[in-house]
Amino acid sequence: MDAPIGPATGPGFEENEIGTDSVFSAGTDLTSGGDAKTDHGGEYGLIRRRRRKPLIAVVEGPALGGGFEIALACDLVVASTTARFALPETRRGVVATSGALFRAVRALPLPVAKELLITGAGLSAERAHRFGLVNTITEPGAALREALVLAADICESSPVAVRQTLAALADQYVAADEIGWAATARAIDGVMGSEDLQEGIQAFFERRRPEWRGR
């Protein structure tokens, strides 16, 4: 999943003339991925990218792990009723590495975010919409169409004003993001080399429930 995302989205982030007469930014179909690192923008090409244009996540079906973290990094989320959001990393002995450890608690009530992060439980599209994580919920197969409608609504606003608004909002989270990434790095260090991590990986490939050792 992640390899094509950076090259595909890069020009749209940086160039003002890319788009159609009515749409300048729409979302991407989300699935989970493996190695998320890219040359620009951090994980998946957008997790740490400072953007000049709004990014809409279009979610049909599961958005798991890194897929959910992509949605959390977007400005707006349009999802069909088939969407399901989950962060299953702890069930494999790892932690969320691409921003969910601090972005989930901004997008969701704290107890809900904690539940997702430490249990790996899923969140339905309807529940995500009630909590405000999802802006618009649609029937199956209609999320992209509704995202294009939302993008057209954005196009009614001044591009300069939209750009400056996004920059002002992002500026307010610079320090918090630095703290969040540092905390994430510590959490990653805390699980790397653990017996639980090795057991989680082995259990995954053997398609069985892990037997945790707590160390």
Question: Which amino acids are annotated catalytic?
Answer: 69, 89
Using CA atoms in the order 80, 87, 203, 194, what is the torsion angle rounded to 10 degrees? Answer: 170
Tokens for 50?
Answer: 């400072």
SS (H, E, C) 89-100: HHHHCCCCCCCH
Crossing angle for the helix pair 100-107 and 174-191, nearest 10 degrees?
130
CA separation for the pair 129, 126 (Å, rounded): 5
